[in-house]
Amino acid sequence: MPELPEVETVVRELRAHGLVGRTVAGVGVAWPRVLVGDTPGAFTRKLRGRRIEVVGRRAKYILLKFSGGMSLAIHLRMTGQLHFAARAAPRDVHETIWLVFEDGEELRFHDTRKFGVWKAAASLDALLPELGPEPFDPAFTVKVFRERLSGQRRAIKTLLLDQAFLAGVGNIYADEALWDAKLHPQRRADGLTRAQAAALYAAVRRVLTAGIANNGTSLGDGATNFARLEGRRGGNASTLKVFRRDGQPCPRCGVELRRIVVGQRGTHFCPRCQRSKTP
């Protein structure tokens, strides 16, 4: 569920809570598969005794850099949530892994669907898959975006969701950006005009910026929705124009919004504003 704005929100809150400077005294693992490729023992040996020096983000990964050149990547996937707790506080059944700090507090990972992943390694290359540019990297200009689009025959929405093409965009913000740019989700990516590519570039940044400003998007109120640190909810849902609003009127033209499937993902758009599949 979490996309770039949601992960960025969590990262900022981790910093604000004072995660930097903590030293790992131990690791608790209730669901070993969260570690993918490491046993709990091997994982613990990588982190124990190390101090957290930097808390950052790359794509949808939370990155913790530790003393001695070790890094930890956390991917929240669909339902991952982080929260701090006193060591003695009771554990929820959905808590799959936690760091124990020397000060007695714990950073706990609550993950209902258990898709989330924690991975530790000395190099970022070993930690992260191939990832496209960060949408807010100054080097990621509209020119770069256009160059990356060329030769891409896939549907534009599929491309926006491809983390190797562009990092951080997920289903919500892809739909919102395409509506903003007035582009049909199934348009062939290399068929966009110069102006359309520029509009999409701006739209992606605009919807992500709004998402961050509103601390992410939380929908509904079940246990499977995005929550910020400590279970707080993001406020961006009220700004969404099309996502999961099929059947309701388009905020721009009033026509009923529709839902289709593109690349096996639910896709929401306005059949009037976002018209042609082909230029």
Options 60, 119, 228, 241, the catalytic residue = 60
Residue 60 annotated as catalytic: yes
Cα end-to-end span (Å), the chain? 32
User: Would you tell me how many other CB atoms lie within 10 Å of the CB of residue 112?
Assistant: 18
- Nearest approach in angstroms of CB 183 to DNA is 16
Give the binding site for DNA (CB under 7 A).
1-3, 6, 33, 59-60, 75, 77-78, 94, 112-115, 129, 151-155, 158, 161, 163, 170-172, 216-226, 234, 263-266
By three-state DSSP, how is residue 96 classified? Answer: strand
Options 77, 114, 206, 265, the catalytic residue = 265
- Nearest approach in angstroms of CB 156 to DNA is 10
Options 3, 8, 105, 176, the catalytic residue = 3
Residue 2 annotated as catalytic: yes
Q: Is 116 left (phi over 0), alpha (psi -120 to 50) or beta?
A: beta
Residue 3 annotated as catalytic: yes
- Nearest approach in angstroms of CB 168 to DNA is 8
Residue 22 annotated as catalytic: no
Report phi then psi at 237, rounded to 5.
-60, -35
DSSP state at residue 70 = E
- Nearest approach in angstroms of CB 191 to DNA is 12
Which is closer to DNA, CB of 64 or CB of 174? 174
Q: Which residues are catalytic?
A: 2-3, 60, 265
